[in-house]
Amino acid sequence: MFVAVLFAILGFGFLIIIHESGHFLVARAFGIQADEFAIGMGPKVFSQTWGRTQFSLRAIPIGAFVMFENPEKFEEEGMDPSRDHPYLDAPTWKRFFISAAGPFFNFLLASLILIVIGFMSGIPSNEPIVGALLPEGVAESAGILPGDRILSINQVQIQVWNDISALIGPASGEQITILVLREGQEKTFTMIPKDNTEGRGVIGISGSVKRFALWGSIQNGIVQTGQFISETIYGFSHLFQKDALNSFMGPIGIVSITGQVAQTGFSNFIWFISYLSVNLGIVNLLPIPALDGGRLVFLLIEMIRGKKMNEKIESVISSVGFALIIGIILLVSFRDIMQLR
């Protein structure tokens, strides 16, 4: 379990590094150098300066950040803080693309992961086709074979693989009737699902894997990333509904479920990392001050007004947004801890 949690922490940290790399690399493409690119938080353990940027490794191996305008650096180098602001003095449209680059890199990473998985090992298909059987499992004993397409369970039509678990899960200990299509012929089987470790009914089957050639894997990776984005946006559209907070996880909950996925295999872990990458990108695009989305709103206002917002007002709004985010994280994390007990 320790190794799984370690993988989870490193995986989530990697997503944040990719996110911050997006900001950094697009800024460099515009000829803007950052004052610092840091991996981790807390005090510096190691640092090296290339050009204007100081690359540092910090003591707490969680996350990363890019600092474009560091007041401490102006003081250290005896520079006039009122001059030489490569980021703040850049055109608004450049700063807009720099802010949007972090989430974009998260979406790009998700697509690349899904492309590689689709090409190398294939991805789980949502078609209701049996891919493999658990030895001496309920389905194998009843006569189900790999390749069987499940048409219905207890006369309820099956459209996608998820329909199967939705019907079998609550039927533990109860007899069910499964209609399958095998080589053009329909066959009927009866069986009684057994309990799994979570108390849900299972019959010992797994779905099929869909494999792709290179071009097909590229298309699938892009399409599936779009589906992830759509699903995540749909989830956030219910943000203000009653008890919506119960559907969100804090860092502790994310690490816990990522660790559980890691225990099921490296391929599943990588697939889940791509899903988390999309979620991280969408979260950062929320129009909340202190997030990239809030910054993008400020920059849009700046474009419309033709001048910068008052720095003090923007700073106060960002501070309030940051406090709100920290409060939500602490609240959700406390709930996650209580659920782990």
Beta bridge partners of 41: 60
| Contacts of 234 by beta carbon, 8 Å cutoff, 6+ apart | none
Sign of CA dihedral 95, 97, 101, 107: positive
Is 108 part of a structural domain of the chain? yes
Measured in whole angstroms, how far is the alpha carbon of residue 125 from the centre of its chain? 20
Question: pLDDT tens digit string along 221-258?
Answer: 999 899 889 888 877 766 555 555 555 665 666 666 77
Looking at the structure, do residues 164 and 184 belong to the same domain, yes or no? yes
Looking at the structure, do residues 158 and 108 belong to the same domain, yes or no? no
Question: pLDDT tens digit string along 99-151?
Answer: 999 999 999 999 999 999 888 877 777 789 998 888 888 999 999 999 999 99
Last residue of a domain, one of 173, 207, 241: 207
Looking at the structure, do residues 98 and 203 belong to the same domain, yes or no? no
29 has a pLDDT exceeding 90: yes
Looking at the structure, do residues 294 and 197 belong to the same domain, yes or no? no
- How far is Cα 120 from Cα 108, in angstroms, rounded to an integer? 18
Looking at the structure, do residues 112 and 158 belong to the same domain, yes or no? no
- How far is Cα 52 from Cα 321, in angstroms, rounded to an integer? 30
Looking at the structure, do residues 148 and 175 belong to the same domain, yes or no? yes
pLDDT at 134: 84
Looking at the structure, do residues 97 and 27 belong to the same domain, yes or no? yes
Last residue of a domain, one of 176, 207, 238: 207
Phi-psi region of 290 (alpha: psi -120 to 50; beta: other; left: phi over 0): left
Q: 296, 97 in Cβ contact below 8 A?
A: no
Is 249 part of a structural domain of the chain? no
Least-confidence region, from 27-41, 165-179, 258-272? 258-272
Query: Which amino acid does the sequence have at 146?
Result: P
Other CB atoms within a 10 A radius of the CB of residue 120 amount to 11
Question: pLDDT tens digit string along 157-198?
Answer: 999 888 898 899 888 889 999 999 999 999 999 999 988 766
Number of H helices, E strands in the chain: 10, 12
End-to-end, the C-alpha distance of the chain in Å comes to 16
Is 15 part of a structural domain of the chain? yes
Share of the chain above pLDDT 90, in %: 33
Nearest alpha-carbon partner for 152 in 164, 143, 162, 165 = 164
pLDDT at 26: 96
Q: pLDDT band at residue 283, thresholds of 50, 70 and 90?
A: confident
Last residue of a domain, one of 207, 229, 247: 207
Is 307 part of a structural domain of the chain? yes
Element (H, E) at 151: strand 149-153
Share of the chain above pLDDT 70, in %: 81
Domain count, the chain: 2
Query: What's the CATH code of the domain at 138?
Result: 2.30.42.10
Question: In which domain, by residue range, is 180 found?
Answer: 130-207
| Contacts of 262 by beta carbon, 8 Å cutoff, 6+ apart | 3, 4, 7, 8, 11, 268, 269
Looking at the structure, do residues 203 and 276 belong to the same domain, yes or no? no
Looking at the structure, do residues 95 and 20 belong to the same domain, yes or no? yes
Q: What is the pTM of this model?
A: 0.73
Is 27 part of a structural domain of the chain? yes
Q: pLDDT band at residue 271, thresholds of 50, 70 and 90?
A: confident
44 has a pLDDT exceeding 80: yes
- How far is Cα 293 from Cα 299, in angstroms, rounded to an integer? 10
Looking at the structure, do residues 175 and 114 belong to the same domain, yes or no? no
Is 17 part of a structural domain of the chain? yes
Give the catalytic positions in this structure: 20
